[in-house]
Amino acid sequence: MKTPFALTPILVGLLVLLAFAVGSAFAQESHTVTVNSVPAGASVSVNGRRVGKTPVELVVSQGAKLDATVELPGYKPQTLKLEANPNSPIEIMIQLELDDASE
């Protein structure tokens, strides 16, 4: 019986195609979002985890929902709700306000 061996190239081709299709379905597009502040040098935390100081680049998966907090001593902290999608801004500028309580 040579039939199983004759089908081998077809089965291998189908398995490769299936693996590619499954991999593509689970692959997520990512976006880079730059967070800037005036004044610069503010700490940036995403979902409670410190990621750096402004200006900072964040690589986020499409559809991800994030809480980004920007803080600098003497200024009021600001929290942004971000959702990464093709229409998301690529660069965000935060104008920090002086904290009256720190004077």
pLDDT of 64 reads: 84
What pLDDT, on a 0 to 100 scale, did the predictor assign at position 65?
85
How are beta strands 78-83 and 65-71 bridged, if at all?
antiparallel
At 12 the pLDDT is: 45
pTM: 0.67
Which secondary structure element, helix H or strand E, spans residue 22, and what is its range?
helix 3-26
What is the Cα Rg of the chain in Å?
Answer: 23
Q: Select 30-102's CATH number: 2.60.40.1120, 1.10.150.120, 3.30.420.40, 3.30.310.220.
A: 2.60.40.1120
Per-residue pLDDT 10s for the chain (103 aa) are 454 555 455 544 444 444 444 444 445 577 788 999 999 999 999 999 999 999 999 888 888 888 999 999 999 999 988 877 776 668 889 999 999 876 5
Calpha distance 11→14 (Å, rounded)? 5
Give the span between the Cα atoms of 55 and 102, in whole angstroms: 24
